[in-house]
Chain A
């Protein structure tokens, strides 16, 4: 079974803190994605990566950065957390190419106070 794991299920941080969200997949997938999910807005793509050290901006990259140093790991970084970044963050992975199912991790619910 494909497994995508995220480092925390729940996280509470203060405004201005630097926040790291980690995602690991064990199926040798080339593509990895970070989304945020908010009520009434669905899922929105923050960043994705199709190879080690490669990254592409999604629809809402402002306030975020990413790092992919190893194929299995994709990190989302909030350089200076703000209250409007309180959200559910979902990581996904897939094989390279089109027509490939994305497999999602369990999500991290981040609250910024």
Chain B
């Protein structure tokens, strides 16, 4: 059974600081997704990582994938309040593209 574990589950940061969210998964997969969810809203796609060594960056967020270690990271650089949200990683778990989600990391960025 494919399992996806994120840590930390809760993260309180000060503005301007850097931090990394980790996503470990339990089986071989070359495809990993990061989503953002604001309170009361739906999920918004952030990154799609489709091969070992893939790195994607958007603004203050950078995601990477190491399929050998079964690990993806989401790095936050110089956090700002607008990044406060819950971040989910998801791994493709089936032949039809269905996703297995981690439990999410709730990020709170404080002034």
Contact = CB atoms under 8 A, between A and B. Distances in A.
B69 interface: no
Interface string B17-45: 00000000000000101010000011111
Interface residues of B, number: 22
Most A CB within 10 A of own CB, among B43, B44, B97:
B97
Contacts of A98: 31, 92, 97
Contacts, number: 60
Interface string A23-35: 0000000010101
Given A40-B103, A42-B102, A42-B104, A103 B97 contact: no
Interface residues of A, number: 28
A74 to B, nearest CB: 13
Interface string A50-78: 10000010100000000000000000000
Interface of B: 31, 33, 35, 41-45, 48, 50, 88, 90, 92, 96-104
